[in-house]
Chain A
């Protein structure tokens, strides 16, 4: 039998049994729509949980955790602090591990600091303790806008002319140096190129110098936390305005370094302006992140030179996410630990995989039941059509032709059911999103709860066809094995 002959017979049979076909397709449509819906939902959850809350494309290595007091006790006897392990040498070693795209150290402030300001953004000034760390600008460069200068603007920079220096500094003897400034009457020049005169910030500032604000980046989670709760908590009965990423970028505030807003501190302090230049998921979750050069200098200045040589963590950028478990193992083998966020990512990844598996199982169970239903329908149709099957045999249909006709009908039902199921699944997802759009905002609330990867559409069709063909396999075999002579006498 030729393909066109087969196609014609299949279409004839489907159209005259439209009612049975429609009834049997319902199960397939429900099963496939559930499959598409659940795949979209679990991919959507993955998108939020593993790409926004717990990052799986990076591993944050921290010194091993020790029991309460052990470290302090060890220190009395001259033991090195745990983060002594996180050095430049170890960072370089990790950078060479398979599956690692790069290793980037992070260093926290080892001194207190507080931030103040915000009137231009929030309507009034707020003041609070500042937690900050520093990371290599190279780690986040690709995530930030092209015009965002997230770099150490105060690092000694060689130059051939003034153009090579940042605003407010000038090339002096082959190196960029800050221009002098004063707020006193007649003591200009005014600082240019986005810089400010340090005297503006009071006695703690480095007087007489033009300085660029320290560029910082924020984590989107901080914005979520602010909009989701802090704005209300600080609102004194009302609420501070909610802010967006666009509003926050370019926003500047002041910091006082080596001073605390909540406790007494001694020693010299330093006042600086900072400016938010962008957002990155690699930035500190509750705090701000600076280029690591600033943190090294400030730690050396306010704490000790040793404090500027010890990293608090190293971020390993994962090139191949499938190697995530091996990389975690490698970290543990070296006697190091994972930051809570990475551990949580690992746990979240396992939980999501389990949930994903359960979703898939439920969907496949529905489709499986539908396949049994399809099987029953074909047994019934074959019983009703047994004389016709005998006739087709008499007219020249082989056993293979009969199987092809019945499996062709099953595949067509699968194709139709799969396509409709995919549309229904997509529609159900759109309906859920529409309902969710009216829910109050909550942290990490996505625009859509569903992400449909491209493979889900062919997979839905293939699964539907495969289940239908499997369901029809035994009826098709039974039809083909029917004795034509016997079938004709029925």
Chain B
């Protein structure tokens, strides 16, 4: 991650203690899907976006979920993030059965334990960069330390090289800067899971590389990162690649295995 001149000011590490304790023992997988299927409303009876997906993702992994358009990767991300609960099968994330949580409990969990990073950034144009980062704090339930959240948001922007852009509106930022603001927003409460949907899809290759490097850095700091992508350069950054095809897991390989497999295929 590049440091800006302003970042010489004292700043908290990205893992500053703003998060709630994890509810599952560290040894348990962070994500556990068992026979997850999804059929969209109005789709023909036999047509499913996901077909009995079963997989585990451990804490601290950096995983790329790849596949062609319509393979079910976005559906998988929505289920992992608790944005879509109309599915069959069992999904446990961070020790929680997503089917069993009430809407309020699920919302609280999303607010504090999941960080979303989207292809189109989804920043609110009427808010400054700093206020966009603080948006999850506004939605937080119960007592909150507004001063601490603000300090953390400022630190995050500084660490991400946006110290001088904290008052800028999204319309005044470049694509890479917008994505950094979105990443800062996702990190505000030090989530246990970062879910990234085509995070470099709207960026030029150089900026995309910077963002990928940032994810690797975050993963090195202990964040679990799941990236949905169809870009090879993104999947190369992951240590594990899950390939989806027609809603089913076609392959699930660790990078070292993939390398071996690639070498075997090469004459």
Binding site for B on A (CB under 8 A): 1-2, 4-5, 8-9, 12, 16, 387-388, 390-401, 483-485, 488-489
Contacts and interface: CB of A to CB of B under 8 A. Distances in A.
B126 A16 contact: yes
A488 B122 CA distance: 8
Contact of A1 (B74, B103, B139): B139
A395 B126 contact: no
Most buried by B among A393, A396, A401: A396
Given A393-B107, A396-B108, A488-B83, A8 B138 contact: yes
Contact of A401 (B107, B126, B137): B107
Which range holds the interface residue count of chain B?
20 to 34
30 contacts: A1-B138, A1-B141, A2-B140, A2-B141, A2-B142, A2-B144, A5-B137, A12-B126, A387-B122, A388-B124, A391-B122, A392-B135, A392-B139, A394-B81, A394-B122, A395-B110, A395-B135, A395-B139, A396-B110, A396-B112, A396-B140, A397-B107, A398-B107, A399-B103, A400-B104, A401-B107, A401-B139, A484-B84, A485-B84, A489-B74
Interface string B97-114: 000000110111011100
A481 to B, nearest CB: 11
A393 B83 contact: yes
Nearest to B107: A398
B136 A396 contact: yes
Nearest to A7: B138
Contacts of B138: 1, 5, 8-9
B116 interface: yes
A401 B143 CA distance: 16
A74 to B, nearest CB: 84
A392 B111 CA distance: 9
Given A396-B108, A396-B110, A484 B83 contact: yes
B127 interface: yes
A9 B134 CA distance: 12
A396 B139 contact: yes
A5 B127 CA distance: 14
Contacts, number: 75
B118 interface: yes
B186 to A, nearest CB: 9
A399 B185 CA distance: 21
Given A16-B126, A401-B139, A485 B107 contact: no
Nearest to A4: B146
A484 B110 CA distance: 12
A399 B139 CA distance: 12
Given A4-B146, A392-B139, 13 more contacts: A1-B141, A2-B142, A2-B143, A5-B138, A9-B138, A394-B81, A394-B110, A395-B116, A395-B139, A395-B185, A396-B107, A398-B106, A485-B84
Nearest to B84: A485
A63 to B, nearest CB: 74
B78 interface: yes
B122 to A, nearest CB: 5
Given A391-B122, A393-B83, A397-B139, A12 B107 contact: no
Most buried by B among A2, A4, A12: A2
Nearest to B86: A483
